[in-house]
């Protein structure tokens, strides 16, 4: 069953519609590759999907084990490579608003490393993760 319908709108812009909810995402070509950079690029979405997936799985663990991650922020840096043009590295900095027990920290770390997006990434993609917890 289809989940997403993506349409090319011209000038390196696309519109993706999530068919179940009707939610829309616009992408634009990046300025370093002939685009206007007026919206997320497809590779930006790729990078953002890892952060969103990790937070979702951490959120499930938090709900299951009774701790709070509301307000957690992930800053993601995407490093591009050439020949072929691709994402060479993702740098993720997680900032958590609370201190957590050792068990909760292990659940968080496991979720980040084993969310579905992380499990789909090719082994040659360099992933750097930093976790900052409130003291």
Q: How far is CA 23 from the centre of its chain?
A: 17
Distance CA 61, CA 128 (A): 22
CATH for 42-132, among 3.40.309.10, 2.60.40.2550, 3.40.190.10, 3.30.300.20?
3.30.300.20
- Mean pLDDT across 103-124: 95
Reported pTM: 0.91
32 pLDDT more than 90: no
52 pLDDT more than 90: yes
Confidence of residue 1 (pLDDT cuts 50, 70, 90): confident
- Cross-sheet strand order for the sheet of 73-81: 73-81, 86-95, 126-132
Q: In the chain, which residue ranges form alpha helices assigned H by DSSP?
A: 42-65, 102-114, 116-120
């Amino acid at each position: 069953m289809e989940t997403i319908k993506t349409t090319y709108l011209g000038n390196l812009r696309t519109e993706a519609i999530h068919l179940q909810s009707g939610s829309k995402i616009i992408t634009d070509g990046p300025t370093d590759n002939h685009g206007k950079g007026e919206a997320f690029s497809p590779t930006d979405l790729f990078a953002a999907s890892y952060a969103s997936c990790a937070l979702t799985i951490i959120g499930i663990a938090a709900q299951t084990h009774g701790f709070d991650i509301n307000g957690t922020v992930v800053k993601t840096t995407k490093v591009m490579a050439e020949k072929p043009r691709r994402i060479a590295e993702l740098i993720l900095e997680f900032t958590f608003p609370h201190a957590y027990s050792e068990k909760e920290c292990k659940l968080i770390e496991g979720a980040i490393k084993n969310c579905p997006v992380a499990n789909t990434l090719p082994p040659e993609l360099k992933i750097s993760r930093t976790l900052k917890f409130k003291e």
